[in-house]
């Protein structure tokens, strides 16, 4: 897999917002729903999503920058020397033997072997049984509607984890008694991929929808995507950029109140591209006979 920074077109100093904005832009460009039947585009979308999953996680990003994991999130091969906790640099072998380092290497090796079978998990070793951390990634729609993800436990068993409807990014789910030794718990952190169109605000969904000039001026019925598919929405005649339509109950489930949020559709009037000569001539004639100073009306002057 290519360097995730290169995949997203970013430098290594990119901020978290830069990472999210780059993903949203590329996800919209390469989303399979917008490119049906294009296997190459679907593969590119997966590559973009994998890069975002790594760089949006501060811990994984830091480990990648230090060379501890590769672009797929797997452990990188160790070099010929490493630094002990005391700060000494030592080569492999018996010289400079340190019992603490030996146990660290031993358990680190076991941990890497377990992680190679389940890259999303990190473990703690304790006599009474410890909690074990996992991470899973779901799409925006899956998090909103609920889904399942299968994880491999430290015992070697597999478990289907229910992702509840309305799950938020980096929300943690606790699975009792599924930790190390059967006494600890499994802590599953859920990472939610950004959607190319939807933006979540609490339990509401916000969406910018382009409309043509005739649709805005004359009114029209247009199709708008929602979590559960497209719906027909009426655009009132005389609508303008910034006009907002409310789709009641089309947002995300609030499990505590047992109600859904709403979806808000902000209209964005889009002119023909390239410009239409007939429309240009009409507006020139129309403007000569009418006063239309929008900035004075807004209080700019």
Integer Cα distance of 151 and 135 in angstroms: 9
Considering the entire predicted model, what is its pTM?
Answer: 0.58
Q: What is the pLDDT of residue 121?
A: 52
pLDDT by residue for the chain (301 residues), tens only, comes to 789 898 889 888 899 888 888 888 888 788 766 777 787 887 888 888 888 888 988 888 998 898 888 887 777 665 433 333 333 333 333 333 333 343 334 334 444 444 444 545 554 444 445 778 888 889 999 999 999 998 887 667 888 899 999 999 989 998 888 776 666 788 888 999 889 889 999 999 999 999 999 999 999 999 999 998 999 999 999 999 999 999 999 999 998 888 999 999 999 999 988 889 999 998 888 888 877 777 777 777 6
Q: What is the pLDDT of residue 157?
A: 80
CA 190 to chain centre: 10
Measured CA to CA in angstroms, residue 95 lies from 87, 89, 98, 109 at distances of: 16, 11, 9, 20
Q: Six-digit token pair at 59?
A: 């811990």
User: Phi first, then psi: what are they for 118, rounded to 5°?
Assistant: -145, 85
Which residues does residue 190 pair with via DSSP β-bridges, in sequence order? 136, 171
Q: In this structure, are residues 231 and 171 in contact, taking their beta carbons and an 8 Å threshold?
A: no
Which residues does residue 247 pair with via DSSP β-bridges, in sequence order? 263
| Maximum C-alpha span of the chain | 93
Domains, the chain, ordered by start: 1-72 (1.10.287.110), 116-194 (2.60.260.20), 199-290 (2.60.260.20)
97-104 LR contacts (CB < 8 Å, sep 24+): none
CA dihedral 172, 173, 176, 178 (to 10 degrees): -80
């Amino acid at each position: 897999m290519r360097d995730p920074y290169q995949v997203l077109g970013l430098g290594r100093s990119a901020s978290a917002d830069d990472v999210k904005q780059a993903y949203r832009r590329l996800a919209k460009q390469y989303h399979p729903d917008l490119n049906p039947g294009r296997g190459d585009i679907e593969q590119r979308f997966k590559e973009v999503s994998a890069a975002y999953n790594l760089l949006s996680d501060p811990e994984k990003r830091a480990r990648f920058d230090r060379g501890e994991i590769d672009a797929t999130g797997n452990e990188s091969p160790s070099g010929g020397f490493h630094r002990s906790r005391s700060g000494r640099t030592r080569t492999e072998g018996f010289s400079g033997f340190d019992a603490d380092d030996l146990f660290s290497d031993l358990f680190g090796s076991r941990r890497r072997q377990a992680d190679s079978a389940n890259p999303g998990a990190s473990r703690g070793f304790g006599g009474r049984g410890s909690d074990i951390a996992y991470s899973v990634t779901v799409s925006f729609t899956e998090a909103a509607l609920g889904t399942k993800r299968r994880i491999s436990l430290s015992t070697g068993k597999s478990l289907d984890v229910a992702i509840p409807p309305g799950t938020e990014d980096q929300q943690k789910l606790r699975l009792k008694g599924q930790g190390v030794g059967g006494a600890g718990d499994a802590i599953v952190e859920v990472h939610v991929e950004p959607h190319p169109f939807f933006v979540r605000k609490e339990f509401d969904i916000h969406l910018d929808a382009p409309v043509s000039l005739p649709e805005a001026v004359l009114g029209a019925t247009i199709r708008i995507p929602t979590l559960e598919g497209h719906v027909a929405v009426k655009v009132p005649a005389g609508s303008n950029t910034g006009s907002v339509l409310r789709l009641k109950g089309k947002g995300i489930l609030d499990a505590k109140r047992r109600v859904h949020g709403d979806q808000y559709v902000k209209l964005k009037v889009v002119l023909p591209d390239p410009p239409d000569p007939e429309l240009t001539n009409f507006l020139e004639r129309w403007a000569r006979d009418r006063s239309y100073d929008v900035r004075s009306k807004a209080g700019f002057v």
